[in-house]
Amino acid sequence: MNRPKLIAGNWKMNGSLAANEALLSALRAGLPQGAACAVAVAVPAPYLAQVQTLVSGSPIALGAQDVSQHDGGAYTGEVSAAMLRDFGARYVLVGHSERRQYHGESDADVAAKAQKALAAGITPIVCVGETLAEREAGETEHVVRRQLAAVIHANGHCISEIVVAYEPVWAIGTGRTATPEQAQQVHAVLRAQLAAATTHAARVPILYGGSMNAANAAELLAQPDIDGGLVGGASLKAQDFLQIIAAASAAQGDAATVSGVN
């Protein structure tokens, strides 16, 4: 199946009113007409309103970086799925490795957050990935399968509506990147796990999230089960992000040619 490529930028805790406007202005100006891949930016919560306005009428979708597993109430500092929906958020990251590491989020927490997003009509980008110690211990497949299994178990038939992002923790912000072959191996494991859970697994995009940049994007995106990227630092630089989008659009076109879709 020729799945649409998705390039999602994760701004993390970066940005300002002025910087956001400059970045998105440059992205809008540089995006090719009729780009073959989908594009999104996941922004810090205080900037949702600003970015909603800045991307209006453009191909860039709005995303958030986290969502509460609660609907509302006495949860100071949290943001509900309904609140994100009010700002037109189409995507939300759940289970990012930094949330798991620094905020102690469990697999069950991540599954509950994905459930709340789906119920609100927002697509969760479910992040899974192993640490360096887990990879060196040969536990990569066990870890990512366990993390995804929790989300599958909690969301049942809705699982075909998610996006998965494989982010090897050892390759985030370190300058290290999994080889295309290493990344593809894990993506294939996740694809098989999804296929066992839903007959619609082929339509679930699996993104690579381990320091994808302008230099390595094309080679990664050429792999059969890598359907896009969850891009960190490079998403804050308009030219780099546009180059990654161009690589994804080219890969999309190549995939369409191979599958006979024009």
pLDDT, tens digit, for every residue of 16-47?
999 999 999 999 999 987 778 999 999 999 99
> Does residue 261 have a pLDDT over 50?
no
Mean pLDDT across the chain: 93
Question: Which of 162, 155, 164, 214 lies closest to 190, judged by CA?
Answer: 164
Amino acid at 59: P
DSSP 77: T
- Predicted local confidence at residue 255, as pLDDT: 56
> Does residue 208 have a pLDDT over 90?
yes
pLDDT band at 211 (very low <50, low <70, confident <90, very high): confident
pLDDT band at 3 (very low <50, low <70, confident <90, very high): confident
Residue 227 lies in a domain: yes
- Predicted local confidence at residue 252, as pLDDT: 81
How are the residues of the chain apportioned to helix, strand and coil, as percentages rounded to the nearest 5? 50, 15, 35
Token pair 């090897």 in the structure block, residue: 168
- Predicted local confidence at residue 177, as pLDDT: 74
Full residue range of the structural domain in which residue 183 is found: 6-14+37-259
Q: What pTM was computed for the model?
A: 0.94
Residue 168 lies in a domain: yes
Residue 31 lies in a domain: no
The mean pLDDT of 73-88, rounded to a whole number, is: 98
- Predicted local confidence at residue 4, as pLDDT: 83
Residues 147-190: pLDDT tens digits?
Answer: 999 999 998 879 999 999 999 998 877 777 789 999 999 999 99
CATH number for the domain including 129?
A: 3.20.20.70
Q: How many structural domains comprise the chain?
A: 1
Residue 44 lies in a domain: yes
Q: Which two tokens stand for residue 176?
A: 């290290």
Residue 21 lies in a domain: no
- Predicted local confidence at residue 254, as pLDDT: 64
> Does residue 257 have a pLDDT over 50?
no
The mean pLDDT of 71-94, rounded to a whole number, is: 98
Q: In a 3-state reduction of DSSP, which class is residue 228?
A: strand
Asked if residues 92 and 66 have their Cβ atoms less than 8 Å apart, the reply is yes
> Of 98, 161, 167, 187, which is the active-site residue?
167
Query: Does the active-site annotation cover 96?
Result: yes
Residue 1 lies in a domain: no
- Predicted local confidence at residue 156, as pLDDT: 83
> Does residue 256 have a pLDDT over 60?
no
Residue 32 lies in a domain: no
> Of 96, 98, 130, 187, which is the active-site residue?
96
Amino acid at 35: A
Residue 75 lies in a domain: yes
